[in-house]
Amino acid sequence: MDTIERNEKIELYGRGFSLLKAALAEVPQEALKFKPEPTEWSVHEIIIHIADSESNAALRARKLIVEPGGALMGYDQDVWAIELDYHDQNLEDALETTRLVRKTTYELLKRQPEEVFTHTIKHPEYDEPYTFEKWIKIYSGHIPGHIEQIKNNVKLWQRQNLK
């Protein structure tokens, strides 16, 4: 990834929260806890997951910056959703967490010298070194990917409620 592409992805990362808020404005309150299938997440669960994931992502970015070569913690997002009872967690708090984590991490990324983006770290889910490039690709697309999931949930909820 060259500098221009990296900077574009960092800017997309920086816009993530505002994109999420815009998407959520289109979600009817009644659709927030609708699950398309028992094993799939509701919009509410997606938002709580995003807060947890973004918190982990922020830590990963900081480890990449200051402790290259170190190791990251992995986590099972589906187990977290069940064991932490995502439907019982506060949606507004999760959104505020996401907003602040995205804002501070985006600002941190913008201040990094070029050489930081060559850093790698050990990730328990990958055999090869986990690069900053991989981090940027994953997390610049994380919220947009979940926005698509949210839109799909709403469409399925609407179809079910039109019958």
Task: Name the amino acid, one letter, at 100.
Answer: L
CATH for the stretch 3-19+42-162: 1.20.120.450
Confidence (pLDDT) at 161: 84
Helix (H, G, I), strand (E, B) or coil at 71: strand
Q: Give one DSSP letter per residue of 31-70, joined into a string.
A: GTT--SSTTSPPHHHHHHHHHHHHHHHHHHHHHHHH-TT-
Q: Which residue shows structure tokens 């019982």?
A: 88
Ramachandran bin of 90, using left for φ above 0, alpha for ψ from -120 to 50, beta for the remaining angles: beta
Q: Could you tell me the residue ranges of all domains in the chain? A: 3-19+42-162
What is the rounded distance in angstroms from the CA atom of residue 140 to the CA atom of residue 68? 21
Q: Which residue shows structure tokens 């839109």?
A: 151
Confidence (pLDDT) at 150: 97
Confidence (pLDDT) at 162: 75
CA nearest neighbour of 58 among 92, 13, 15: 13
Q: Distance of CA 28 to CAs 43, 81, 92, 133, Å?
A: 10, 22, 15, 36
Confidence (pLDDT) at 1: 85
Confidence (pLDDT) at 163: 59
**72 in Cβ contact with 124 (< 8 Å):** yes
Each residue's pLDDT tens digit, 54-67? 999 999 999 999 99
Virtual torsion, Cα 152, 153, 159, 163, nearest 10 deg: 170
Extract the residue ranges of the chain whose pLDDT is less than 50: none
Confidence (pLDDT) at 45: 97
